[in-house]
Every structure is written in structure tokens, then in C-alpha cells.
Amino acid sequence: MRIRNGVSKIWQETTRQPLLMVAFWMAVALALRLHRLTEPVLRWDEGWSLAHASLPWRELWQVAAAEWHPPLYVALLKLWLALGKSTLILRSLSVVSGALAVPLFYIVGQKWSGRPRVGMIAAAFGAVWPLLVYYEQVIRMYALAPLPLLAATWFMLRNEERPDWRNDLGIVISALAGLYTFYHTVWVLLGLWAYAVWRRPRLLPRLVGTGLAVAAGYLPWLWLAQGTLQSRLSTGMTASSDPISGTLAFLWPTLRGFAFTYGTSAWAALLLAALLVTGVVCGVIRSDRRESEKLLLPLFTAGLSLVAIAYGAQASRWFQVRHLVPATVFFGLALAWALDRLAARWWPLLPAAALLLVAAYWPTSTRFVYEKTLEVVDPFDPTADYRYLTAHAGSDDLIFFNVLAKAGWYENMRQADDPVWRYAMRWEPIIEPMPQIIRRIEEHTARYRRLWFVLYQGSFGPNAALKSWLDENLYPAGGEWQGDTLYLAYAVPPAVWTGATRDDRFVNGIRLKSAQWTPALDASGVCAVSLTWETEQPIPTGYKVFVHLTDGQRPLAQHDGVPGAEARPTFTWQSGEEVSDRHGLFLPMDTPTKAMSLTLQVGLYDPETGQRLLLRNGRDAIELGAIQMADDRS
């Protein structure tokens, strides 16, 4: 009896010190989110966030309009980059957002329920709930979403007690911040407005006014992103011939996402449901109608989100747990209300329930949350692009990525003297129109002579149009597959060309009809060659062309390739047909800077044996001419 009274007294004393307890839960939130923060390598979406935030402001808005998420988080991340771009610093923005949400959990929980204990339990939920810890450790907008939603709820609850224009302004600003952070906050906001109308019907004109103000503030973005939104909505609408059954099929995975029972045993969900239902029933039985109606807040907000997210999951045939972050805030309020009602019946039930939840979620909270396997299960190496490019590209080269995620991985490791990058997005989730990409490439060809293209999935699908344009308009200087990525180098030649009609004949009937090339190398060390081939008879062998830039003793630069940028193997040539063939060469940047005369050689060889094809004069290479190297290369 004495021990029980002592524990009860300690509980009462601590709950009378809300600032101290809130500070404690904020410290817990920080500790849980900082734990193993840098261990997981940057995920695909995290790389996207970093690359997106690294763009100039104008392009940041443009890319966001075509992306799956609105721009507020990325804009804040761009400002945050002033602190650095290490993994620790980048993820700390989400950590700070999660910690700052804890006092808002307390304030909203207390205001909504009228009981400090509900606020304190809600603050504890915001600090430790595994789903929140999981997504408040990643470089994405999910961590930011709870802050504006909690703020909007607080202003809405204040207006319920005493309507005031300052509360209206707070509602509008908070709601807009949520909508500009994450599209799925719309379901929570609709539920919040529905709850306010139910609780105070006389405030309907005021609520309509604030709703219209929010709509007016969001319309510019809706107009800018209309193409993306229409595409997503139309995909969702046509995802299933029976939307109702399709939605019902995804309700269970969505409910499991709310419970976040990944990595733990099935009884965790049963325990959570039992505590929630028992606490709600106990509270409803002992409360009047007005008090019980408060539960409509989590019901409207979380319930509407649950149905909308389950419906939207039909489009991708995959439920995405991260979409539940906004609704989880209000699930936490419902759980706090239920646990408070259990404690009101008999106070030891609260610590007992807390201990049971800790035991149930211990595997999830200590392992699964930090392993970060929800979105990525296959092995990957986010350092591969950086290692390849810094080994092959020079500091004055320009790199284009076809997807921002890989650009972000590269940017995370890029140093001041590494090549800069741009983007030519031809892979999901953004496939830019080719004219837009062409303009961007051409804007940079006046300055950069050596271009690299990092093509995730190579020339497959929408990438094919990009590679085709590059092969037709630039000069291929190299290409290599590494895993699922194709690395391509292209030369942008200077304006001055030289050339001549040729009549170099090989023993099997192949003839070089003409050649053009750049006669001098500027500081970029780039040489471009354009060849025209013809054959007198069908060629059964697939020969490769070699183009060498030699100092008389050894090749200083070379490019080997199937004619026509891999598109016109010699065994496809028809008699009398002219075949155009382009080649680019990059002189290594560490080549001695003294002026010298180089020789350009061209020939053919069998890639199976390495044997060069002989000309009718007995030689194995054609000397096109001399190329002068400038003495001011740096």
C-alpha cells in the first residue's frame, strides 16, 4: 500500500510540471532520432531530395510542379544546406521537425481533451511512436507534415472556444503550410473542418471563409502542378474496375500501417486494438455526449485518410506507409484519450499499458525502425556513380543525370573540384519533354566540350529518345554499363572543321568515302571526327571502328565503337549504302601542356579476335591528318 501511494504521488507531482515533462519527451525524441542516424546509406528518395534542393530556386519550383510532392520541404532543405550536406546534417532537418512536434502534441492533446494527462500521453506518443521515428530520420517531407497539422488543429480548437481573426489567420497559414508540404495532408484538413462544423455549426460561415482563404492560397500551386495532379488522379480513378472492392482490399494493409507492427509479432496489433477499444469504451460510458463527441476529431481525420489512402493504393498496387504520417498524429490523440480513460478507471492501468506496448514494439523500435527496409530491400550502392565519374570525368566536364535520385547521391559526395552536374530527366517519376531537355543541353554546350550522361536503365523506355538525340547531334566518346546504369561520354566539337573526300579501301570491300575532323585542340582537349563509310558487298562480320589520336608512338586518346553509335553494325550494311559514323575523343587532362602535333588514325577491327582489318595497300590504319595541340591547356 505504501509503495502504491508513493508511485501515485510521484505521478501526480510529475504531471503538475508539464514543461519539465514535455522537455523530457523532447529529449527522448531527439535521442531516438539521432540514434544510428547516419548508418543507413542515402535511399533513392533521399538522393532525390538532396538533388532537388540543390537546384536554383526557379528550377526547384518547376521540378516540384512535375514531382509527386509540393515544394515547401525542399525549399526549407535548400536553406538548410547552408549548414552542409553530410548525411548527419541533411537528416537533422527531419530530426528537428520531429522533436518540435512533441510540445505541439502536448498542447493540442490538452486543448482538445481538456485534460493535461491526455496532452502528456500524446507528447510521449509523438516522441516514441515507431512510424514517426522511422520517417523523422529520412530526408523527406514526411517529418515536416505533423507540425502544420498540429498547429492548424490548435487554432481550430481555440476558435471553437472563442472565435477570433487571429485564430482564423493561424488556421489559414497552418493549413497552407501542410498542403504545400505533403498532398496527403488534405484528408486530415478536410476531416478537421468536418469536425469543427459538427462541434460548432454556428461557426459554419467562419469556417467557410477560412476554407476559401486556404483554397485561394493553394490555387496558384494547383494551377502550376495541374498536369501532374490530373495524371495522378486519373491513374487512381482507372486503377480498378470496382473501386469499392479495390479500396476494401487495401484497408487491411493501411490499418496495419497505422499499427506499424512491422518487425514484431502479430499480438502487438491485437494489444494495440484492445487498449484503444477498451479505453474508448470506458471513456464513452463515463462521459456525456458532448465529451464523447471529441472522438470525432481522430475519427474524421484518421478515418478519411485511411479510406483515401487505401483508394489511392489501387493505382500502384502497393500501399505506402509513409502516406499515413499526417493521419498518425490523430491516431496518437485517440490512443492518448483511450489510455487516459483507462488511468481514470484505475491509475496502474496506464503504466501497465505502457509497459505492454514497449514490450510489443521493442523489436520494431530497436531494429526495424533503424534498418529502414520499408522502401528498399534490394542491395544498392549510392557511391557507385561518384566513384565511376571521378575516375573518368575531368573537373571541367559536365554530367547529366536522367533521374534526380542518382544526382543526389553524387552531390552528397561531390567535392569542390569534382565535375558539376545538371539533369535531363527521362525516368520516373519525371519524364521531361525532349525539346525542354535539348534546350538545357544546348545552353551548356558553349561552355562545356566534354559531356557525360548517367542513364539509369540505359536506353530502355523513355531513355531511348534521349540517347537517339545525343547520338545524332553530339559525338560519342565512350560508353559503359555498370550494373543498371549506362555511362555515356559525348564530345561537343569546336566550330572549326577540316576534312576531305577519301577513297581508302579495305580488303573486304569496305571503303572510307569521306572524313571531317576538328584540326586543333583547345583547352578542353576535345576532338571530333565524322566518317562516311560504304561497302561494295555484304559484310558478314561485325567490325568495330577505332579512332586514335597518337603522338607517333602511342595513342593519347581513342574511341572504339560499332558504327553509327552502335546502331549500324557492319553486317547490316547494304552494297552502295552510305553510313554516317561519329566519334569523339577526350585527350586526358594530365597530358603534357607543351605544344605538339598529333596524328589522327582510323581503322576497323574484329572485336572477337582483336585483329585489325587490312587496307588494300597493306596497312592496318588510315592516317587522316595532323591535329595541333594548344600549349595553354590547364
> Among 145, 160, 173, which Cα is nearest to 111's?
160
Give the mean model confidence (pLDDT) for residues 231-254. 73
How many residues does the structure list for the chain? 634
Banded model confidence at residue 446, pLDDT cuts 50, 70, 90:
confident
User: What's the burial of 495, exposed, middle or buried (CB within 10 Å: 0-12/13-18/19+)?
Assistant: exposed
409-422 per-position pLDDT tens digit: 999 999 999 999 99
Contact in structure between 378 and 484 (CB atoms under 8 Å): no
pLDDT confidence of residue 524: 85
Please enumerate in sequence order all residues whose Cβ is within 8 A of that of 624, keeping only pairs 6 or more positions apart, or say none: 515, 517, 529, 600, 601, 602
Banded model confidence at residue 150, pLDDT cuts 50, 70, 90:
very high
Cell numbers linked to 458: 540505359
> 87-113 and 116-128 are packed helices; what angle lies between their axes, rounded to 10 degrees?
160
32-46 per-position pLDDT tens digit: 999 999 998 999 999
Gap between the Cα atoms of 325 and 260, Å rounded: 11
Gap between the Cα atoms of 158 and 202, Å rounded: 15
248 — phi, psi (to 5°)?
A: -60, -35
- Which among 122-131, 284-293, 552-561 has the top mean pLDDT? 122-131
Give the mean model confidence (pLDDT) for residues 547-576. 93
pLDDT confidence of residue 2: 55
386-407 CB burial, b ≥16 within 10 A, e <16 = bebbbeebbebbbbbbbbbbbb
Q: Are strands 510-517 and 498-505 parallel, antiparallel or unpaired?
A: antiparallel
pLDDT confidence of residue 248: 82
Say what the pTM is.
0.92
Share of residues in the chain with pLDDT > 90 (%): 80
Give the mean model confidence (pLDDT) for residues 5-24. 67
Gap between the Cα atoms of 462 and 432, Å rounded: 10
Does the structure show a pLDDT above 80 at 378? Answer: no
Please enumerate in sequence order all residues whose Cβ is within 8 A of that of 253, keeping only pairs 6 or more positions apart, or say none: 310, 313, 319
Banded model confidence at residue 586, pLDDT cuts 50, 70, 90:
very high
Does the structure show a pLDDT above 70 at 372? Answer: yes
Banded model confidence at residue 380, pLDDT cuts 50, 70, 90:
confident
Q: Which of 196-205, 286-295, 392-401 is predicted least confidently?
A: 286-295
Banded model confidence at residue 500, pLDDT cuts 50, 70, 90:
confident
pLDDT confidence of residue 14: 46
> Among 191, 165, 186, which Cα is nearest to 233's?
186
> Among 525, 527, 526, 531, which Cα is nearest to 581's?
531
Beta bridge mates, 511: 505, 534
Please enumerate in sequence order all residues whose Cβ is within 8 A of that of 22, keeping only pairs 6 or more positions apart, or say none: 102, 103, 106, 120, 123
* DSSP letter, residue 625: E
Gap between the Cα atoms of 7 and 15, Å rounded: 12
Banded model confidence at residue 595, pLDDT cuts 50, 70, 90:
low
Cell numbers linked to 56: 536554383
Place of cell 561552355: 447
Does the structure show a pLDDT above 50 at 634? Answer: no
Gap between the Cα atoms of 30 and 36, Å rounded: 12
Is the Cα torsion angle 109, 111, 112, 113 positive or negative in sign?
Answer: positive
335-346 CB burial, b ≥16 within 10 A, e <16 = bbbbbbbbbbee
Q: Which of 65-69, 514-518, 554-558, 628-632 is predicted least confidently?
A: 628-632
- Residue with more model confidence, 375 or 31: 31
Does the structure show a pLDDT above 60 at 8? Answer: no
pLDDT confidence of residue 523: 81
Cell numbers linked to 496: 572549326
Give the mean model confidence (pLDDT) for residues 16-30. 91
Cell numbers linked to 444: 551548356
Q: Are strands 520-521 and 622-629 parallel, antiparallel or unpaired?
A: parallel
Give the mean model confidence (pLDDT) for residues 224-248. 74
User: What's the burial of 226, exposed, middle or buried (CB within 10 Å: 0-12/13-18/19+)?
Assistant: exposed
